[in-house]
A and B are shown apart, each in its own frame.
Chain A
Amino acid sequence: MAPDGTPDLKVVGTRPIRPDGVDKVTGRAQFGADFQLPGQLVGKVLRSPHAHARIRSIDTSKAEAIPGVKAVMTAADMPEITSEEAFVGEGPADFKDMSGNTMARDKALYDGHAVAAVAATSAAAADAALAAIEVDYEVLPHVIDVEDAMVEGAPVLHDDMFTSGVDPKPATPSNVAKRMVFELGDVDAAFEKADIVIERKYKTAPVHQGYIEPHACVAQYAADGQVQIYCSSQGQFMVRAYVAKLLGIDISEIRVTPLEIGGGFGGKTLVYLEPLAVVLSRKSGRPVKMAMTREEVFRGSGPTSGGTVWVKIGAKRDGTIVAGDAVLKFQAGAYAGSPVGPGCMTAFAVYDLQDVRITGYDVVTNRPKVAAYRAPGAPISNFGVESAVDELARELDMDPVELRLKNAAKKGTKAAYGPTFGDIGCVETLEAVKNHPNYNVPLGPNQGRGVAAGFWFNIGGESSATVNINEDGTAVVATGNPDIGGSRASMAMMAAEVLGIDVERVRPIVADTSSVGYCFLTGGSRVTFATGMAVVEASKSAVNELKARAAKTWDIPVDAVEWEDGRAVPAGSNAGDFEPLSLEDLAAKSGRTGGPIAATSSLNAQGAGPGFGTHLVDVEVDRETGHVKVLRYLATQDAGRAIHPSYVEGQIQGGAVQGIGWALNEEYIYDDKGRLENPGFLDYRIPVASDLPMIDTVVVEVPNPRHPYGARGVGEVPIVPPMAAMANAIQDAIGIRMTELPMSPPKVRKAVDEQAAAEE
């Protein structure tokens, strides 16, 4: 039985081939850079070579005189935006800052900050134009590190930034945008009751989402003011809303057609190129195509915050954790809005604590403005807390899984950020680790085992779906969320489940902004939950209409018709009176029974089930080189109900591996002038196939009562535990507590040398 009491499901939980699969294995699928319009120009961006500089003037006259150059733009071509909160979904933002980030106005705030853009008939002409633009910079002192930026006397990025959340309000501007505190119970008193207290500071490096597809778009501004944008993003409605706002255009004038998205992980939840392409098209009268190079992706987009995490936890001798305290300092990049809020809220969420306090600081630095990255903020605070809990387990000489089981959040636990949990699977994921063979594999010399658990809220939100029943009894399901990792499959499966037909008979499409109702962006692990709910509702409405058509055909009351296996069946006193009418029969005759059959649903989905996961990793440390090899990796997670289990496993495996990269290798390296030294995949090293073993997964299913099939979001949880799990495994292998990410070979080697020196 399914959680809602319906009979066993026929489609949900199976593993059909994804509907867009053939396009993607044959090269036919059109991604952001694959689209073109006749007569399109090549658009390119001029970027600041300075980490912090006042822009005294920009002279574009020489660039404009180059043959083939059709338009040159600066911030002067965009409206000045007043401060107003922008709802980005997974992190706070401000439209004024967003405008400034797409094109610097008075100051360039990081190496790579856009200062001008051109459109030309060829790439060569565009490059020549960029070289001919004369920008008069007054170079200013800069600051890269988060704690350096908080020191009095640090170079101040914004002279109108006065720390909010402190009383009294500061009299002088600083780089601290905001201070926040989340508190439950009486933390200081609770620490008095502790037998053991662990206190330590940890540090993480900013890391890029690392999607393989650079940002790209084509924009066309027509003489009547109609704007067409074709781009890859995590939300065509997001692109429409932001372009409208940043350029002062009515939403009805803009139509955004989503192209396939080549990875996003949160990094495509905002706009960079689209407003520039629209302005360049308006100025030139031609369509403009823009695509970032990989270097531009690193210098000008993403990443997520780096930060410091101070953690203090207190426990009883028996392992009961009695108090938790943490201070998080996250760098936001050049504008306010790091994910320190969710970092705070998730920090201790896997534990059932009565007394807990988390303080967060949102700090600007001369780096690219951060963007959402998979469970924004949570991996950073989790690295600190789950490392500290591992230290506690060692102090107590307790199994780290048993310690977590003893303190795990469960139904009824009140989280520090407010809500009381309903049905959650934290304990189940811990048990799944304990019951897995990996838990008992013997380890050799310099090998170690680490465990960590993680949490993410998951969100619902606004979604729409349209179900059209075709005249041959097949169906088209239109939604407005880019398919970033197989969501077309889950949409088609849920529709097929309700309609009672084979999934191959449902064709899911991702529609443009003028062809389907509003959908909030693809992010927050929301699509299968929220947009899936809209698909289920629309499909149910279609079934109701099909039943009504059958009732009309048979001339019986509609409530005397039931829908079974894709057929209308007479029921009750009429049972057996008529031959069942299939979806094909009803569709073929729809013209005679009332017209085409179509249904829509628009809703604001509530009740996204929180997600929990536990990871277990075995590593081997090479003391000579400092290299850490991952021997075995297990990720367990509560998916509520896996709609398409292969893609759930895929989300878990992909998130875990991004976390392994975050743990071991990924970081931004700046020179003393604040210029990024590793803006490419050779020097910014993401995990490759030969770095890794298979990633074992166990999908636990604690149904989410608020979803028709019990689904929870699954995309974000898996990136939360890996960093601490890896650090804990390294500690287990060589007896060294690594407190700073990445735990790259030079850092591990240095720690090994220091350990040897200390032992002499």
Chain B
Amino acid sequence: MAKHHISTTINGEPVEFLCNTEQTMLDVLRDELHLTGTKEGCATGDCGACSITVDGRLVCSCLMLGVEAEGHAIQTIEGMADGDQLHPLQQKFLEYAALQCGICTPGFLVASRALLERNPNPTEEEARYWLAGNLCRCTGYDKIIRAVLDTAADMRGAS
């Protein structure tokens, strides 16, 4: 069967790609576009390692088909820093040692950014429930939650 020709926007850049009907957005990102910052931990929507945003909405890219990207604006971890200027969340994750192995980190950062865009002043509980779809097996979440809350405080102060 012929592949589909998809036109979309990824990290602000217009992108075209070909994909099969059954190919997930995660597979398109990783295998066709070589954007391997988006990780596969389960491919069933349970771990959040493949988190991206579509028109600002947080989704697991393993639960989305590549063809569904047509006409939408996708954000991945590769678009989070502005050149060599890290996003405040990225910087804070480093300062707080909020990562150990780092495999879940892109998903947590994308999900955390989506949280702060909706809720610039989350409580600890709100942050924990928003990020409950992202699994981390290394950190016990303590330093991740602290980094997110401290970033939120900084960004509120800066705006």
Contacts and interface: CB of A to CB of B under 8 A. Distances in A.
Nearest to B138: A654
B130 to A, nearest CB: 8
Contacts of B96: 646
B1 to A, nearest CB: 11
Contacts of B116: none
Contact of A26 (B78, B95, B100): B78
A655 B125 CA distance: 22
Interface centre among A211, A650, A655, A658 (most CB of B within 10 A): A650
B39 A293 contact: no
A686 interface: yes
B38 A262 contact: no
A27 B77 contact: yes
B81 interface: yes
A694 B142 CA distance: 5
Chain B: interface size category: 35 or more
A294 B41 contact: yes
A260 interface: yes
Nearest to A485: B100
B86 A25 contact: yes
Contact of B100 (A210, A484, A690, A694): A484
Interface in B114-133: 125, 127-129, 131-133
Chain A: interface size category: 35 or more
Contacts of B133: 688
B103 A212 contact: yes
B138 A260 contact: no
B42 interface: yes
Contacts of A698: none
A14 B103 CA distance: 25
Given A17-B95, A30-B36, A657-B141, A680 B44 contact: yes
Given A294-B42, A681-B135, A653 B97 contact: no
A227 to B, nearest CB: 24
Contact of B135 (A209, A212, A214): A212
Nearest to A644: B97
Contact of B140 (A33, A211, A214, A692): A692
B90 A25 contact: yes
A264 B77 CA distance: 23
A607 to B, nearest CB: 26
Interface string A248-261: 00000000000011
A650 B145 CA distance: 13
Interface centre among B35, B37, B94, B141 (most CB of A within 10 A): B141
B42 A485 contact: no
A692 B141 contact: yes
A584 B95 CA distance: 29
B132 A27 contact: no
B139 A654 contact: yes
Interface centre among B99, B101, B132, B137 (most CB of A within 10 A): B101
B41 A650 contact: no
B10 interface: no
B137 A686 contact: yes
Interface string A668-691: 000000000000111000111111
B49 interface: yes
Interface stretch (B63-71, B104-112, B150-158): B104-112
B72 to A, nearest CB: 20
A486 interface: yes
A735 interface: no
Interface in A464-493: 484-486
B43 interface: yes
18 contacts: A20-B102, A25-B93, A25-B102, A26-B78, A27-B36, A33-B36, A212-B103, A263-B101, A653-B139, A657-B139, A657-B140, A658-B140, A681-B42, A686-B135, A689-B131, A689-B136, A692-B142, A694-B142
